[in-house]
Structure 1
Amino acid sequence: MTHTCDVAIIGAGTAGMAAYRAARVHTERVLLIEAAHYGTTCARVGCMPSKLLIAAAESAQGVREAHRFGVQAEPPRIDGRAVMQRVRDERDRFVGFVQDTVHGWPEATRLFGRARFAGAGVLDVEGQRVAAKAVVIATGSRPFVPPGWRERLGARLIVNDDVFNWVDLPRSAAVVGAGVIGLELALALHKLGVRVRLFSRGERVGPLTDPELQKLSRTIFAAELPLSLNATQLDPLPDGDQVLIGGERFDTLLCAAGREPNLDDLGLDTLDLPRDDQGRPLVNRHTSQWGGTPVFIAGDATDDRALLHEASDAGRIAGDNAARWPDMHHRPRRTPLSVVFSEPQIALAGASHAELLADGSHFDTGRVSFANQGRSRVMLVNRGALHVYAERNTGRLLGAEMIGPAAEHLGHLLAWSVQRGDTVRQMLDCPFYHPVIEEGLRTALRELHSDLHLPAPPIESCMDCDTEAEVGG
């Protein structure tokens, strides 16, 4: 059987679904090809089930911490089966919404099977031929596992995808990889009573790049749970039903050592597509085009900012331009924003410290510690710090990094300011209520404005009217 279409989309995850919607604005001749299952990484094994587990962990931690407010409570009893039942039930609910959406699209625009390029504009889908004017690759990514570990450890080794199918919590778990996924899951399991050790291959814990904040994050998380840094020579071994790693035995080893794009077995060797020195696709982020051909790629398959909103944006751009081919449009991208739902939370907004240094940017840094910030102390979440970065000559906000309370919310405020092109003075002229955690941001902005040595604001500016009467602002 031969199918002809204007746009063929390989993969029905977040990027693929966004590409499908965007392409169908221009043409009905769209074909969405999926080889495994409908349902995004976010809904099945990513954002949503992980936050369900984290919510349970935070609830347990809240009971443990109640005595610090003078509230006496019994130590929490963790019902692992009940915890995982809610995780699975809600996970299935989220996945169901995605499946309902895809199944609601015309059947003629969906094809199930594994796709491979048989040549330019030609796909083979398990014996069926697809001829397309343009192709969007949205095949996502999968967890990376070091060679030999699966064969050696068998069922004792799991990846984050497996966690959310648990019926009960394990007694102990080694977590390898201190990036976003490993850090979130290690902390959640630890708070739920699982004996955990987190192994990091280097000095970094989490995605922070500012040296001062990275050092602080190591200190904070080392006090939270057992942490092994510079664990580069790990050699996990089976030991009965357990895993022996780093001199300790665990019921399971959760490998969170990164992810790799699903680009193998696509027949890409039949196409002349450019890659960088590490084999990653060279993609125009503003068109999603890969090379000079009508091949577009979006989402985690690009190995670039593996976040849902980024995948959705890239998929929309890819689908729109694939349907327009060859009349493509360059689309703007949103300001970078990433959040880690650890405790305390982590957020990066705009350019990171490392990116600013790499670009040779001339910038100053404003700092605030949350240790004595008023509202943070009231709620006993007074850990962490915020650094904000501004351009030296103009005072324009360039980016921020933080570890601390309400980072998911402060991160949004900061990303919005970066995207608008706000200056530090413009941000200080905005209202700050009292007492709120956002007052910590104002403290950092005040320090930054002073360091920038910019002209004083006009007399009508409200910034000159701010008082220091509040405690710990």
Structure 2
Amino acid sequence: MADDQATAKETATRPQAVTMQPGGDAAAPATGGRKREIRTDLCVIGAGSGGLSVAAIAASFGVPVVLVERGAMGGDCLNAGCVPSKSLIAAGERAHAMREAAAFGITAQEPQVDYTALRDHIRDVIAGIAPTDSQERFEAMGVTVLRESARFTGRDMVEAGDAVIRARRFVIATGARPAIPPIPGLAETPHHTNETIFDLTARPGHLIVIGGGPIGLELAQAHARLGARVSVVEAQDILAREERELAEVVEAQLRREGVAFHANAKVTAVSGEDGAVRITLAGGGDAGETVLEGTHLLVATGRKPVLDGLGLDAAGIRHDSSGIAVDQGLRTSNRRVYAIGDCAGGATGGYRFTHAANQHAGLVIRSALFRLRVKLDNAIIPRVTYTDPELAAVGLGEEEARKLHKGRIRVLRFPVAENDRARAERREAGHVKVITSHKGLVLGAAIAAPQAGELIALWTLAVTKKMKVQDIAGLVMAYPTLSEISKRAAVEFLKPSARMPSVRRLIRFLRVFG
């Protein structure tokens, strides 16, 4: 009896499939190969990080979920983004450590890099994580997974293969893909993106990277550390979205490691074949045109949302080249439909990070399942560039804070070089920069330092919980750790108090009493 009840409960929480008759009306449960209709509470389109999070959380509450994915489970982050890039970076760090060992009394040597084994290392890491995102795991949770392309055919209807899905709510989480700029000759010239660069089985002789943002710099440094000659071309400043003083720390370190930069340079033409590419530049501080010749070309000029084939117009969903328009609650112009992650624009501010997609997923669950009012807060989303040193930031930058607070802010800094742990590890480049209101409310922070992506967590908490910098100054940090850098920056806020005449008069008065 108990087994029968459990089976009945499981059936009730799964999407229900029915056969579609010629007239389009739903009939009895599907028994053959005829077109079927699936009725469900939630239909998620896209099995990347955001879509998987929505599906997993909803299923854990017993909500019937259909998950549609036309590509690889796990999306870009697992297969062509965060996971493979960090695996490559880790290999580059090991190679760099071998070259720099003499400073620690260890014989330095030039590493011998086997790119085929390196590719296998990257694939092994992906394979180790893949079961967490697999179709089998989600089906075991009770999610109906369709490996098909999804297309809206109405405001409340999606077609996927031989199925028509009707859902109470839809979540679009189709992610983004590399944006390829319209450079003359690029389409005809062999080039890599982050979707193909990790498949190399031989070290590039000279890798030319078009794009000086986070992806471009991370891959540039990794390949330079693995022994390739690397040049980076950028139409603006390097890491143009970040605080200039901190971006310069990262750029300077990459230059020391041999990476050549051509900033504020426009690529006017690309040509070549496998093993021999030519890039023509205008600007970049040189008169006239400059020609770069290399063996491999990597295009890292940003990402664009994946919206093709979704039939968004049929569902009344507004969208443009920046993504699907959403409000502060991540709803589209069709109130049945949410959009999250890299494919969403509008109120998301274009933050295309895995952790942003996961935050979006949590908000959608609260809204769609519990009917709670939710509101995006992009200020609490940290961003990290995983170079060495790393560059991390959260909240307001200095320029934005000055505008919003009419100049009534404090800017606090503390150098990495004055941290004992950093000195012991001989990794002294960079500093912490904290922006507060004149009363000490933490408005934002940016860090160029080893493990900046870890260090920014404290300041993310401070911005999220609207803490004061005095709270950070009062924390006890373990010694010796890099986290002391944050505390020392916070203490800088208190130093002017020591010079205040009123404070000094109070101390002199109290000394009278012994």
CA–CA distance in structure 1, aligned partners of residues 48 and 499 of structure 2 = 47
2:384 aligned with 1:384, yes or no? Answer: no
Q: Which amino acid aligns with 2:469?
A: V
The correspondence for 1:72, drawn from 86, 107, 117, is 107
C-alpha contact 1:432 1:439 (8 A) present in aligned 2: yes
2:86 aligned with 1:51, yes or no? Answer: yes
Residue in 2 aligned with 1:86? Answer: 121
2:304 aligned with 1:268, yes or no? Answer: no
Residue in 1 aligned with 2:333? Answer: 291
2:480 aligned with 1:438, yes or no? Answer: no
CA–CA distance in structure 1, aligned partners of residues 70 and 101 of structure 2 = 49
Offset of residue 332 of structure 1: 6.7
Q: Say if 1:76 and 1:457 are closer, same or farther in 2 by CA, change over 3 A.
A: farther
Provide the secondary structure at the position in 2 that maps to 1:38: coil
C-alpha contact 2:45 2:150 (8 A) present in aligned 1: yes
Provide the secondary structure at the position in 2 that maps to 1:254: strand
CA–CA distance in structure 2, aligned partners of residues 454 and 349 of structure 1 = 31
Provide the secondary structure at the position in 1 that maps to 2:192: strand
Residue in 1 aligned with 2:10? Answer: none
Q: How does 1:106-185 map to 2 (within 5 A)?
A: 106=142, 109-147=144-182, 151-153=187-189, 156-185=190-219
The alignment covers a number of residue pairs equal to 450
Provide the secondary structure at the position in 1 that maps to 2:373: coil
Residue in 2 aligned with 1:2? Answer: 37
Offset of residue 195 of structure 1: 1.3
Residue in 2 aligned with 1:375? Answer: 421
Q: Which amino acid aligns with 1:397?
A: V
C-alpha contact 1:363 1:389 (8 A) present in aligned 2: yes
2:213 aligned with 1:213, yes or no? Answer: no
2:261 aligned with 1:227, yes or no? Answer: yes
CA–CA distance in structure 2, aligned partners of residues 221 and 358 of structure 1 = 32
Offset of residue 386 of structure 1: 1.4
Offset of residue 96 of structure 1: 3.3
C-alpha contact 2:194 2:300 (8 A) present in aligned 1: yes
- Residue by residue over 1:257-307, the C-alpha shift from the partner in whole angstroms, topping out at 9 and shown as x without a partner, is 00001123211122433458x65433234x321136111011111153222
Residue in 2 aligned with 1:16? Answer: 51
The correspondence for 1:101, drawn from 109, 117, 137, is 137
The correspondence for 2:362, drawn from 316, 327, 341, is 316
Q: Say if 1:122 and 1:330 are closer, same or farther in 2 by CA, change over 3 A.
A: same
2:414 aligned with 1:406, yes or no? Answer: no
Residue in 1 aligned with 2:226? Answer: 192
- Structure 2: where are the runs of 5+ without partners? 1-35, 281-290, 504-514
Residue in 1 aligned with 2:271? Answer: 237
Q: Say if 1:17 and 1:457 are closer, same or farther in 2 by CA, change over 3 A.
A: farther
- Residue by residue over 1:179-221, the C-alpha shift from the partner in whole angstroms, topping out at 9 and shown as x without a partner, is 111111110000000111111121133642x233234443333
Q: Give % identity.
A: 27
Q: Say if 1:206 and 1:453 are closer, same or farther in 2 by CA, change over 3 A.
A: farther
Provide the secondary structure at the position in 2 that maps to 1:408: helix
CA–CA distance in structure 2, aligned partners of residues 431 and 418 of structure 1 = 19
CA–CA distance in structure 2, aligned partners of residues 307 and 456 of structure 1 = 48
CA–CA distance in structure 1, aligned partners of residues 106 and 137 of structure 2 = 46
Q: Which amino acid aligns with 2:409?
A: F
Offset of residue 360 of structure 1: 4.2
Provide the secondary structure at the position in 1 that maps to 2:457: helix
CA–CA distance in structure 2, aligned partners of residues 254 and 35 of structure 1 = 26
Q: Say if 1:115 and 1:366 are closer, same or farther in 2 by CA, change over 3 A.
A: same
Q: Which amino acid aligns with 1:294?
A: R
Residue in 2 aligned with 1:281? Answer: 324
C-alpha contact 2:155 2:316 (8 A) present in aligned 1: no
C-alpha contact 1:81 1:167 (8 A) present in aligned 2: yes
C-alpha contact 2:100 2:108 (8 A) present in aligned 1: no
Q: Say if 1:440 and 1:122 are closer, same or farther in 2 by CA, change over 3 A.
A: same
Q: Is the radius of gyration larger for structure 1 or structure 2? A: 2
Stretches of 4+ aligned residues off by more than 4 angstroms? 331-334, 451-458
Provide the secondary structure at the position in 1 that maps to 2:47: coil
Q: Which amino acid aligns with 2:463?
A: V
Provide the secondary structure at the position in 1 that maps to 2:96: helix
- Residue by residue over 1:23-64, the C-alpha shift from the partner in whole angstroms, topping out at 9 and shown as x without a partner, is 335554321111112123222111111111111110111110
CA–CA distance in structure 2, aligned partners of residues 52 and 106 of structure 1 = 32
- Residue by residue over 1:423-442, the C-alpha shift from the partner in whole angstroms, topping out at 9 and shown as x without a partner, is 12221111134333333323
2:301 aligned with 1:301, yes or no? Answer: no
CA–CA distance in structure 2, aligned partners of residues 358 and 130 of structure 1 = 48
Q: Say if 1:93 and 1:240 are closer, same or farther in 2 by CA, change over 3 A.
A: closer
CA–CA distance in structure 1, aligned partners of residues 273 and 71 of structure 2 = 34
C-alpha contact 1:85 1:167 (8 A) present in aligned 2: no
Q: Which one scores higher on RCO, CA 8 angstroms, separation ≥ 6?
A: 1
Offset of residue 94 of structure 1: 1.6
Q: Say if 1:188 and 1:207 are closer, same or farther in 2 by CA, change over 3 A.
A: farther
- Structure 1: where are the runs of 5+ without partners? 459-473
Q: Say if 1:317 and 1:452 are closer, same or farther in 2 by CA, change over 3 A.
A: farther
TM-score by length of structure 1 reads 0.87
Residue in 2 aligned with 1:32? Answer: 67
CA–CA distance in structure 1, aligned partners of residues 202 and 388 of structure 2 = 23
CA–CA distance in structure 2, aligned partners of residues 291 and 336 of structure 1 = 24
Residue in 1 aligned with 2:296? Answer: 252
C-alpha contact 1:88 1:165 (8 A) present in aligned 2: no
- Residue by residue over 1:73-114, the C-alpha shift from the partner in whole angstroms, topping out at 9 and shown as x without a partner, is 33222222222221122222222332142343446x222211
Q: Say if 1:135 and 1:344 are closer, same or farther in 2 by CA, change over 3 A.
A: same
